[in-house]
Structure formats: C-alpha cells, structure tokens
C-alpha cells in the first residue's frame, strides 16, 4: 500500500461518494475504505438560530394575514413592524431562505415573537409553521410538510411575548443542503387553545436548524 504522501491529491470538492481510509479500532489492525457520507454521520451537528423579521415575510396570496403594518411608539421609542393575524380564521404568511451547504437536512423548530392590542380576557394564541424544500430543477409546486404549532399566552397590551419552540418540523419535498426552503407561518385561530379575541401581531420568527461541520459542497 502506498504512503499517504504518495497518493494523488484531490483538488476538487469532496462529495459524499468519495472514499477515505480508516483503520479498525481492534487488535486486527485492518485497513478499510469508507465513504464521506458515512464519516459525516459522526461529525458533530450544532443548532443555529436564523431570525426572520416580519418585514421579510409576505401575506399568502389566499387567506393571507394583513399587510405589513407599523405600530407607532412614543418619542425616543422604536416603531414596530408587524403582520397582524385574525382572531376568527386561520391566516398565513410566507418567506423563503436558501439553506446553507452544511445544513444537516434534519427537522427544524421555530419560536414566535408577537404582541397584541387591548383586550379584556383570554390571551392565548396558537402559532404554527410548515415548510417545503426545492432544489435545482425541482418543481415550484413542492408539497409543504406537516405543520407544528405552539401555544403562547399574552396578557399585557403591547408587550412583546416569545413563545416556546415548536416540536420538530419535517420539511416537505426531498430536502438537500443548499435547497431553497419556503416556510409558511400561521395563526390557528380555530384551534381549541386559541382564545385571543383580537388580532395577534407577529414581529418575528426564529428558526433553529442543524448545521454540520462537514459540507458536501
């Protein structure tokens, strides 16, 4: 077997089907080949937060939320940009992000940053999200994955509330690193746990995605 220093150097990008050499961790001292795809399974994955503000979202073409609005503040205070979601029906907004080349293709969770105008009783809103992935030469009519929701309770007019994270959401389609992923967010005003009698104002969503230290491109 030639020395490593005598091997031809790989000058192009490493892909999942490329091989490397390992030595089994036992007394046999056997040398074997293994694909980079297999090696990547053992590389640590970290969670990265991806913030998306309301101004980066659009109401869906059907059953969309209200257009982007500005909540005026007092002197020396910041105005807030929000998307307002109805208290009686399910309304939606969407946005898309190109995923990084080292996305682990795994499930994603989300937190919702929101507020509400004045109301007297019942302050819980149910927020949800789902997503679809599209790669090079894929159809734009990609199916959205199963939605995940989270309930959060407000109470004070024009205070900011931050929900807990949703359960893990599986992205629809055939997700791959580098895909364009479209996210759909909504308020499920028809859910039994949603009892906020006024519009819920969405300020931002933070996505939590898995990033691998290994990249296939």
Is 72 a residue whose pLDDT tops 50? yes
More confident residue, 209 or 16: 209
Sequence ranges of the domains in the chain: 4-40, 45-212
Query: CB atoms < 10 A from the CB of 28, how many?
Result: 8
Q: Are strands 58-59 and 91-98 parallel, antiparallel or unpaired?
A: antiparallel
pLDDT-based confidence at residue 33 (cuts at 50, 70, 90): confident
Global pTM reads: 0.80
pLDDT of residue 217: 46
Is 198 a residue whose pLDDT tops 70? yes
Q: What CATH homologous superfamily does 45-212 map to?
A: Galactose-binding domain-like (2.60.120.260)
Summarize pLDDT for 133-151 with one digit per residue, the tens.
999 999 999 999 999 999 9
pLDDT of residue 39: 76
């Amino acid at each position: 077997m030639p020395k490593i220093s005598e091997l031809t150097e790989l000058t192009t990008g490493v892909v999942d089907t490329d091989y490397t050499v390992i030595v089994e961790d036992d007394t046999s001292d056997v040398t074997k080949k293994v694909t980079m795809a297999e090696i990547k399974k053992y590389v640590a994955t970290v969670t990265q937060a991806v913030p998306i503000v309301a101004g980066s979202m659009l109401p869906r073409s059907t059953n969309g939320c209200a257009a982007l609005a500005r909540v005026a503040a007092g002197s020396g205070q910041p105005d807030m940009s929000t998307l307002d979601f109805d208290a009686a029906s399910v309304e939606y907004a969407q946005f898309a992000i190109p995923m990084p080349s080292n996305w682990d293709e795994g499930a994603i969770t989300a937190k919702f940053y929101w507020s509400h105008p004045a109301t007297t009783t019942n302050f819980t809103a149910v927020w949800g999200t789902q997503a679809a992935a599209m790669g090079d030469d894929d159809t734009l009519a990609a199916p959205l994955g199963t939605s995940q929701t989270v309930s959060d309770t407000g109470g004070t007019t024009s205070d900011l509330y931050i929900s807990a994270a949703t359960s893990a959401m599986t992205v629809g389609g055939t997700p791959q690193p580098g895909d364009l992923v479209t996210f759909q967010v909504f308020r499920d005003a028809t859910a039994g746990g949603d009892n906020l009698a006024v519009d819920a104002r969405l300020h931002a969503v933070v996505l939590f995605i898995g990033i691998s230290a290994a990249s296939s491109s």
